[in-house]
Amino acid sequence: MAPGVVMPRSGAPPNEFEGRVTIYVVVCGIIAATGGLMFGYDIGISGGVTSMDDFLEKFFHKVYLKKHHAREDNYCKFDNQGLQLFTSSLYLAALLTSFLASKTCTRYGRKPTMQAASVFFLVGTVLNAAAVNLWMLIIGRLLLGVGVGCANQAVPLFLSEIAPVKLRGALNILFQLMVTIGILVANLVNYKASTIHPSGWRLALGLAGVPAAILCIGSFIIPETPTSLIERQELDQGLSVLKKIRGTDNVSLEYKEILQASELAKEVKHPFKNLRQPSSRPPLVIAVLMQIFQQFTGINAIMFYAPVLFQTIGFKNDASLLSAVITGTVNVLCTIVSIVFVDKAGRKILLLSACILMLIAQTTIGGVLHANLKATNNLNHSVAIVVVVFVCVFVGSFAWSWGPLGWLIPSETFPLETRTAGFSFAVSSNMLFTFIIAQAFLSMMCHMRASIFFFFSAWIVAMGLFVVFLLPETKNVPIDEMIERVWKLHWYWKRNNMFVTQIDSDIFFMQTWEHWKNGKMFEIIDTSIVENCRENEVLRCIQIGLLCAQELPDNRPLISQVVLMFNSPSMDIPVPLKPAHYASMREGSSVNEDPISELQPR
Ligand SMILES: OC[C@H]1O[C@](O)(CO)[C@@H](O)[C@@H]1O
């Protein structure tokens, strides 16, 4: 192989898998994406409900009194930990559940995890709609959170795995599109429910059952993903689903690729432990950073509390909800923009353009509020309109970028062996930071006042730098070829031998073994291994292969031990060797010694 030329593992040229975009794959994608509808409905509904008088009077009497106390500071009207806990408890439960859901995704599949999501969600909804005290409300929210944790783990993975490579971005974004539709529907429901007294809030919370019911029924129609089937040894079924979703019988290359990925994944007994290996670091760091950044744009300060925020700046109850409906509509429309462009323009350009616009929007909102909104005076009408317009600019640019790509990028950048475990970190980080914002925003607004928007602006600058320097482009890269085609080539992430992984060493040693068996002299077969390392350790690994193959009389068991050694997930790769081994092996005097036992994991 020419130096530096790295072939995908299946040997297939990138992007050349057979198959078209079938109606079946699109329908399955839409059904699965209703998991996003549940999530979105929840995000949108809590803001509206927590600003409804009937609800506040029943459960948060103090806030109700404060809200109607004319002299109360505008920025602090809604600052109440209990009220914030109502919103945020869901995310706490989702955070913890996502780790569990990662295991059910691997062991039982993506589909049953989605089914579990819908059941938890339905039970939570019933408790919420029937709540007679705060505890019923909170427990209901926790169960909704369990549902969201399962759905947010399973759905994006499902979408990325069934998608044909050229449409992976678009199909994955269906999830976020459903999130935004859920938010919009919730805003509309809030708008109507706020006029129904005294139980409009029950209707608002109870309607969350609709998307859960759709997902529950729909999940019986969709198949399990081929990847998950193959990973769980249901090879025939995996192959037949693959043929069905690709609309062709000619899927052998893609099948082989998934099979290889799952063979390697099988070696990994502890995917969470494996995430600690250097080769998992880049997708993990990026997955977590994407979530922190997504939430510190300040999006949920607006999504959860839009009606509250608009009331803060002086809109009446109805007008506030109406403004939330406007921003919700912008959110949906701009997510569609993302679906259209993500696989053409690529991920980075969407993220960067959004950073620029969001920065302008946040600083303008902060400036306008700072100059015009005093503690007890509302904004005058035209200034309030300016704020709404910039909120729309902010929400729109978020919607074509950090919103959808926050899910897409982590779902496509991990290798199969750590995909569900790695993705669960993305989901849980998203939930954690959503929780933090939900819990802290109203208090932050009370203390920081308009400066809170400058706080978010500073984060947006950091995000822009992250995109420019650290985020690789993953457009049109097959999902199981990220290591070779993305990480190994990135100026920063390729450093420190991070990608001399067990995959490399497996291939390397297998090739070496084949050559040896066929009586050929050893030669360096994959020069990319040598090229991608900067430290001597990798060369030392290659030397082991050489020594074993050439100098030991009974080389087979030793080679298999070496392969084993490289497969061991508990060991960092490359494995540090003691120089004494070289000598003893070279002299051929220690064939019966077990060199592996002397090797210590780093
Ligand atoms: O559309 C906005 C919504 O999208 C998310 O970022 C999820 O991807 C939510 O946290 C936010 O409320």
Q: pLDDT tens digits, residue range 490-548?
A: 888 876 444 444 334 445 555 544 544 454 433 333 333 333 333 333 333 433 333 33
Is the predicted pLDDT of residue 423 greater than 50, yes or no? yes
Every domain of the chain with CATH number 1.20.1250.20 lies at 18-74+81-222+268-477
> What is the Cα–Cα distance from 46 to 183, expressed in whole angstroms?
10
Q: Residue range 381-389: average pLDDT?
A: 84
DSSP secondary structure, 135-188, as one string = HHHHHHHHHHHHHHHHHHHHHHHHHHHHS-GGGHHHHHHHHHHHHHHHHHHHHH
More confident residue, 321 or 257: 257
Find the helix or strand (DSSP H, E) in which 472 lies: none
Q: Report the b/e string of 256-273 with b at 16+ CB within 10 A.
A: ebbbbbbebbebbeebbe
Q: How far apart are the first and last CA of the chain?
A: 32
Q: What distance lies between CA 483 and its chain's CA centroid?
A: 18
Q: Which atom of ligand 1 is nearest to the CA of 300?
A: 12
Interval 145-174 mean pLDDT = 93
Q: What is the pLDDT of residue 150?
A: 97
Which residue reads 């109850």 in tokens? 317
Q: What is the DSSP letter of 518?
A: T
Q: Residue 445: what pLDDT?
A: 75
Contact (CB, 8 A) for 599 and 574:
no
Identify the top-confidence range among 163-177, 388-402, 574-588: 388-402
The answer on pLDDT for 378 being more than 80 is no
The arithmetic mean of pLDDT across residues 164-177, rounded, is: 91
pLDDT band at 86 (very low <50, low <70, confident <90, very high): confident
Ligand 1 closest atom vs CA 335: 1
Cα dihedral 133, 135, 141, 144 sign: negative
Task: Give φ, ψ of 499 to 5 degrees.
Answer: -105, 15
pLDDT (0 to 100) of residue 377? 63
pLDDT of residue 337: 95
Place of tokens 């070829």: 481
The two tokens of residue 131 are 């709540």
- Least confident among 227-236, 238-247, 269-278, 485-494: 269-278
Among protein residues, the one whose CA lies closest to atom 5 of ligand 1 = 403
With beta carbons less than 8 A apart as the criterion, state whether 169 and 476 touch. no
- Expressed in percent and rounded to 5, the helix, strand and coil fractions of the chain are 75, 0, 25
> Is the model's pLDDT at 69 over the cut of 90?
no
pLDDT at 580: 31
How far apart (Å, rounded) are the C-alpha atoms in residues 167 and 341? 11
* Structural element, H or E, at residue 202: helix 200-206
Q: How remote is the CA of residue 101 from the centroid of ligand 1, in Å?
A: 20
CATH 3.40.50.300 fits 18-74+81-222+268-477, yes or no: no
Tell how far the Cα of 179 is from the centroid of ligand 1, in angstroms: 7
Pocket test for ligand 1, best of 179, 409, 437 (most atoms within 8 A of CB): 179
| Number of other residues whose CB lies within 10 A of the CB of residue 596 | 14
User: At residue 291, does pLDDT exceed 90?
Assistant: yes
H helices then E strands: how many in the chain? 28, 0
Q: Which residues line ligand 1 at a C-beta cut-off of 6 Å?
A: 43, 176, 179-180, 183, 294, 299-300, 303, 331, 403, 406, 434
- Give the integer Cα–Cα distance in Å for 169 and 335: 12
217-231, 470-484, 511-525: lowest mean pLDDT where?
Answer: 511-525
Give CA–CA dist 431/531, Å, rounded.
39
Of the ranges 143-152, 283-292, 411-420, which one carries the lowest mean pLDDT score?
Answer: 411-420
Give dist(CA 539, CA 504) in Å, integer.
13
Taking the C-alpha atoms of residue 277 and residue 275, their distance in angstroms, rounded to an integer, is 5
Report pTM: 0.77
* Distances from the Cα of 535 to the Cα of 187, 521, 529, angstroms: 56, 26, 12
Q: What is the CB-side half-sphere exposure of residue 469 using CA atoms within 13 A? A: 7
Split at pLDDT 50, 70, 90, the class of 356 is very high
Mean pLDDT of 61-86: 71
Tokens coding 435: 């929780």
User: Residue 404 Cα, ligand 1 centroid: separation in angstroms?
Assistant: 8
Contact residues for 262 (Cβ-Cβ < 8 A; gap 6+): 227, 230, 231, 416
pLDDT at 404 over 90: yes
pLDDT band at 558 (very low <50, low <70, confident <90, very high): very low
Angstrom CA distances, 374 to 315, 365, 379, 584, stand at: 15, 14, 8, 81
Is pLDDT of 301 > 50?
yes
CA distance 500 to 546: 17
Sign of CA dihedral 22, 24, 30, 34: negative
ipTM > 0.95? Answer: yes
Q: Considering the chain, what is the average pLDDT of its residues? A: 78
Mutate to test the pocket of ligand 1, among 45, 303, 394, 407 (most ligand atoms within 8 A of CB): 303
Q: What is the pLDDT of residue 143?
A: 97
DSSP sequence for 37-78: HHHHHHHHHHHHHTT-HHHHHHH-HHHHHHHT-TTS-GGGTT
